[in-house]
Chains A and B, each alone.
Chain A
Amino acid sequence: MSDAVLLGAPVLLPLAAAVLAFAGGDRLRRGVTVALCAGLALAAALLAGAAWNRGVITHHVGGWLPPLGILLRADGLAVLMVIMNTAVGIAVSVFAAGYFGGHDEGHAAGPHGRTALFWPVWFMLWGALNALFLSGDVFNLYVTLELVGLSGVALISLAGTKAWPAAMRYLFVSLLASLSYLLGTALLYGQFGVLDLAGLGRAMADVPAARAAAALMFVGLAAKTALVPLHAWLPPAHAGAPAPVSAVLSALVIKGSFYLFLRLWFQVFPVLTPAVLAQAVGLFGSAAILWGSALALRQSRLKMVVAYSTVAQVGYLFLLFPLATGAAASVAPLAIAFHAVSHACAKAAMFMAAGGLMLAYGTDDIRALRGAAVQASAPALAFAIGAMVLIGLPPGGNFTAKWLLLSASIDTGQWWWIPVIAAGTLLASGYLFRVLTVFMESSGSAAPASAPRVSLAAPALVLAVAALLLALAAPAVTGVLERAPAVGLPALAGGPS
Chain B
Amino acid sequence: MTPALLYGLSGALLVAIGLTGAIASRSLVRRILGFNVLGSGAFVIIIAFARRVAGPVPDPVSHALVLTGIVVTVSATAVALALAVRLGDEEDGRHE
Residues of A within 8 A of B (CB): 139, 143, 146, 149-150, 153-154, 157, 161, 164-165, 167-168, 171-172, 175-176, 178-179, 182-183, 185-187, 189-190, 195
5 contacts between A and B (CB under 8 A): A153-B79, A161-B86, A164-B86, A164-B93, A189-B49
Q: Which of B46, B84, B87 has the most CB of A within 10 A?
A: B46
Asked if B6 lies at the interface with its beta carbon under 8 angstroms from chain A, I say: no
Please classify the interface of chain A as helix (H, G, I), strand (E, B), loop, or mixed, using the class held by over half of its residues. Answer: helix
Q: Name the interface residues of B31-61: CB closer than 8 Å to any CB of A.
A: 31, 35, 38-39, 41-42, 45-46, 49, 61
Report B-chain residues with C-beta under 8 Å of the C-beta of A176. 22-23, 35
Label chain B's interface by main secondary structure: helix
Shortest Cβ distance from B82 into A: residue = A157
Q: Bound state CA distance, A161 and B31, in angstroms? A: 21
Determine the chain B residues whose CB is within 8 A of the CB of A168 once the complex forms: 28, 80, 83-84, 87, 93
Cα distance A153–B84 when bound, in Å? 13
Query: A171-B83, A190-B49 known; A182 and B68 CB under 8 Å?
Result: no
**B residues at A contact (CB < 8 Å):** 15, 22-23, 28, 31, 35, 38-39, 41-42, 45-46, 49, 61-62, 65, 68-69, 72, 75-76, 79-80, 83-84, 86-87, 92-94, 96
A179 and B45 within 8 A (CB): no
Which A residues are in CB contact (< 8 Å) with B46? 186, 189-190
CB distance from A343 to the nearest CB of B (A): 28
Judge whether B35 and A175 touch: CB under 8 Å. Answer: yes
Are A164 and B76 in contact (CB-based, < 8 A)? no
Q: How far is the CA of A161 from the CA of B68 in the complex (A)?
A: 32
Judging by beta carbons under 8 Å apart, are B69 and A182 in contact? yes
Find A146's partner among B28, B62, B76, B86 (CB 8 Å cutoff). B76
Chain A residues with Cβ under 8 A from B49's Cβ? Answer: 186, 189-190
Q: Is the CB of A172 within 8 A of B42?
A: no
Are B42 and A150 touching (Cβ within 8 A)? no
- Inter-chain CA distance A5–B73, complex, in Å, is 31
20 extra interface residue pairs, beta carbon distance < 8 Å, beyond A143-B72, A189-B46: A139-B65, A146-B75, A146-B76, A149-B76, A150-B75, A150-B79, A153-B79, A161-B86, A161-B96, A164-B83, A165-B92, A167-B83, A168-B83, A168-B93, A171-B76, A175-B76, A185-B65, A186-B45, A189-B49, A189-B61
| Distance (whole angstroms) from the CB of A241 to the closest CB of chain B | 14
Contacting B83 at CB < 8 Å: which of A139, A143, A149, A157?
A: A157
> Once bound together, how far apart are the Cα atoms of A149 and B65, in whole Å?
19
A190 vs B65: C-alpha distance in the bound complex, in angstroms? 12
Residues of B near A171 (CB, < 8 A) are 76, 79-80, 83
Instruction: Identify the closest chain B residue to A161 (Cβ).
Output: B96
User: CA of A171 to CA of B76 in the docked complex: distance in angstroms?
Assistant: 9
> Taking CB as reference atom, which chain B residue is nearest A147?
B72
Are B65 and A189 interface neighbours, CB within 8 A?
yes
Whether the Cβ atoms of A183 and B87 lie closer than 8 Å is no
Name which of B75, B84, B94, B96 has the most chain A CB atoms within 10 A of its CB.
B96
Q: Pick from A161, A164, A179, A185: contact of B38, CB below 8 A.
A: A179
By a CB distance below 8 angstroms, the chain B residues around A157 are 83
Residues of B near A195 (CB, < 8 A) are 61
A153 contacts across to B, CB distance below 8 A = 79, 83
Q: Select A143's contact among B23, B62, B68, B80, beta carbons within 8 Å.
A: B68
Q: How far is the CB of A90 from chain B (nearest CB, A)?
A: 27
A182 to B18, CA, bound (A): 14
- Complex contacts, B22 vs chain A, CB 8 Å: 172, 175-176
Closest Cβ of chain A: how far from B12's Cβ, in Å? 10
Q: Is the CB of A164 within 8 A of B80?
A: no
- Nearest CB of chain B from residue A181's CB, rounded to whole Å: 10
Q: Which residues of B contact A175 (CB under 8 A)?
A: 22, 35, 76, 80
